[in-house]
Amino acid sequence: MGFFDKLKRAFGGEQQEQASEETEKYDKGLEKSRKTFGDKLNELFANFRTVDEDFFDNLEETLIEADVGFDTAVRISDELKQEVKLKNVKSKAEVSRTIIEKLVNLYEEEGTDEDKELHFDEDAVTVFLFVGVNGVGKTTTIGKLAYRYKQEGRKVLLAAGDTFRAGATEQLVEWGRRVGVTVVRGPEKSDPASVVFDAIRKAKEENYDILLVDTAGRLQNKVNLMNELAKMSRVITRELPAAPQEILLALDATTGQNALTQAKQFKEVTKVTGIVLTKLDGTARGGIVLAIRNELHLPVKLVGLGEKMDDLRDFAPEEFVLGLFKGLLVEDEKTEG
């Protein structure tokens, strides 16, 4: 069953009476995005008279403001034009449903070959390398992930590879203290690759399951950053040939299209395997997930849906789509009676 079929079931009364914990997390975490997206569409339809060129221009602007991305907005608008001609769509309900159906179908199509799973090495130390600019919630993500894996019974080690930013190491050490895991650190301004080497050696000697590595986020100097990440990756692969299993890029959902720009830049300097989208609950820009998939073709693997320790969740595409759109469909049905 496709995403849109599940949406239709959701507003058709076929959903389970008691939502799952995951559904509730996404529903609550996407509340701001859903409301804002709905407000924008309702504003568009408030001035709805006829489906003409002005309507499609306004639709493109509305979708772009909802952070679904320029390319996606233009494509949806163009496809809707064809749909209107073929099916003679006229009512607000029909147009609204068609817009959402196009967004959902496009999202589903672009993710056909997407690998959204986190990969582990069951025979050796698993290494996750975290990249991203300062302030996006990278270190917090590492701390919450360490908590999760420790709760699962895995032995977790952290490496403070961001040796340049004042306070970065201390922040990671504090997270280590909070969740009860060890942090390998070096002197301030020391070589990050040497910290990673020490961490890998410790992980191997003491039979750790997972090593989570923090890195600097100095994107303003791409050459230095690229060299630094390349050196760290060489050290990791030399000591653990199958690692790193993941290079995860942390993006702050509240920054909208700026996050998309950062992702494009990081793709140029390192082989990103997936996205960690932080602070999704604190933004009205949930549409950025659509833009990331449709324009970057990078899988979102983890999302931050709140402040609690267990609010860092594996990304569930169907729950995301339901959380973002289902309210619009319900409202639309009510509107049209």
Concatenated DSSP letters for 122-174? SSS-EEEEEE--TTSSHHHHHHHHHHHHHHTT--EEEEE---SSTTHHHHHHH
Tell me, yes or no, whether 4 lies in a domain.
no
Find out whether 162 and 168 touch, Cβ atoms under 8 Å: yes
78 is annotated as contributing to ligand binding: no
> What is the rounded distance in angstroms from the CA atom of residue 180 to the CA atom of residue 183?
10
Domain co-membership, 75 together with 110 = yes
How many domains does the chain contain in total? Answer: 2
> What is the rounded distance in angstroms from the CA atom of residue 87 to the CA atom of residue 14?
27
CATH number at residue 138: 3.40.50.300
304 is annotated as contributing to ligand binding: no
Q: What is the DSSP letter of 111?
A: T
Domain co-membership, 190 together with 303 = yes
Domain co-membership, 153 together with 102 = no
Tell me, yes or no, whether 10 lies in a domain.
no
Domain co-membership, 312 together with 330 = no
133 is annotated as contributing to ligand binding: yes
Output the CA–CA distances (angstroms, integers) from residue 208 to 106, 140, 247, in the order listed: 41, 21, 19
Tell me, yes or no, whether 101 lies in a domain.
yes
217 is annotated as contributing to ligand binding: yes
> What is the rounded distance in angstroms from the CA atom of residue 180 to the CA atom of residue 186?
19
> What is the rounded distance in angstroms from the CA atom of residue 44 to the CA atom of residue 31?
20
Domain co-membership, 99 together with 194 = no
143 is annotated as contributing to ligand binding: no
> What is the rounded distance in angstroms from the CA atom of residue 136 to the CA atom of residue 252?
5
Tell me, yes or no, whether 17 lies in a domain.
no
Domain co-membership, 198 together with 216 = yes
132 is annotated as contributing to ligand binding: yes
73 is annotated as contributing to ligand binding: no
Kindly tell me the number of DSSP H helices and DSSP E strands found in the chain: 13, 8
Q: What is the DSSP letter of 335?
A: H
204 is annotated as contributing to ligand binding: no
**CB within 8 A of 20, min separation 6: which ones?**
none
Domain co-membership, 57 together with 196 = no
137 is annotated as contributing to ligand binding: yes
Per the structure, the complete domain to which residue 57 belongs is given by: 23-114+321-336
Domain co-membership, 221 together with 282 = yes
97 is annotated as contributing to ligand binding: no
Q: Which two tokens stand for residue 79?
A: 């496809």
Domain co-membership, 169 together with 41 = no
Each residue's pLDDT, cut to its tens digit, for the chain (337 residues) gives 555 565 556 544 444 444 678 888 888 888 888 888 777 877 887 777 777 888 888 888 888 888 888 888 888 888 888 887 777 776 777 777 788 888 888 778 877 788 889 999 999 999 999 999 888 999 999 999 999 999 999 999 999 999 888 788 999 999 999 999 999 999 888 899 999 999 999 999 999 999 999 998 876 677 788 888 899 999 999 999 999 999 999 999 888 888 888 888 888 888 999 999 998 888 878 888 888 888 888 899 999 988 889 889 999 888 888 787 776 654 444 444 4
Domain co-membership, 106 together with 229 = no
CA proximity to 60, closest of 73, 71, 42 = 73
332 is annotated as contributing to ligand binding: no
Tell me, yes or no, whether 16 lies in a domain.
no
Tell me, yes or no, whether 199 lies in a domain.
yes
Tell me, yes or no, whether 293 lies in a domain.
yes
Domain co-membership, 279 together with 133 = yes
Find out whether 298 and 260 touch, Cβ atoms under 8 Å: no
Tell me, yes or no, whether 281 lies in a domain.
yes
Domain co-membership, 49 together with 71 = yes
138 is annotated as contributing to ligand binding: yes
219 is annotated as contributing to ligand binding: no
CATH number at residue 108: 1.20.120.140
Output the CA–CA distances (angstroms, integers) from residue 206 to 149, 166, 173, 236, 293, in the order listed: 17, 30, 19, 17, 39
280 is annotated as contributing to ligand binding: yes
216 is annotated as contributing to ligand binding: yes
> What is the rounded distance in angstroms from the CA atom of residue 330 to the CA atom of residue 12?
9
